Amino acid sequence: MKILLISMVLLSVSTAQAASIYAGKAKAAAVCSQCHGVRSTSAEAPFPPLAGRDEEYLEMALKQYRDKTRISDVMNNIAGSLTDRDINNIANYYSRLGK
Ligand code: HEC
């Protein structure tokens, strides 16, 4: 049920076509922040922190989740509805956060 709700949020957010960091932030706030904290401490375990992580690493991880070459029940579902543009925006946003 939670996953269904999240998918609905993702669908509605992905119609916005604004540029880069703002779109990344909007999507992160609407979707990712339900699980991932913004601080780069380990306090939010078991959800790995995303803030300040390497942009290319985040992009790679999200594409692997989308392609299901990296398996996670939760993240395969979420990344499955992200476009390349979404992934670029989100990776850009999180990599700049906390720096
Ligand atoms: C319902 C909870 C939940 C939501 C929402 C969620 N995630 Fe995750 N995410 C997880 C969990 C749990 C893991 C780690 C465990 C795993 O890989 O199964 C994870 C792992 C990740 C990783 C890998 C981090 C690493 O250290 O390798 C990335 C990147 C990521 N998520 C990005 C996102 C982004 C971007 C969003 C929003 C579009 C998002 N997640 C939304 C739960 C969530």
- Rounded Cα distance between 82 and 61, Å, is 12
Phi, psi of 75 (to 5 degrees): -75, -30
**How much distance in Å is there from the Cα of 36 to the middle of ligand 1?**
7
Q: Which domain does 63 fall in, by range?
A: 2-96
Answer whether residue 22 shows pLDDT above 80.
Answer: yes
CATH number reported for the structural domain that contains residue 86 in this entry: 1.10.760.10
Answer whether residue 19 shows pLDDT above 60.
Answer: no
**pLDDT tens across 44-98, in order?**
567 888 989 999 999 999 999 999 999 999 999 999 999 999 999 999 999 998 7
Number of domains in the chain: 1
Q: Nearest-CA neighbor of 7 among 94, 83, 80?
A: 80
Predicted TM-score of the model (pTM): 0.81
Q: Nearest-CA neighbor of 48 among 27, 86, 64, 39?
A: 39
Average pLDDT on 6-35 reads 70
Ligand 1 — pocket residues by CB below 6 A? 6, 27, 31-32, 34-36, 46-48, 50, 58, 61-62, 72, 74-75, 78, 90
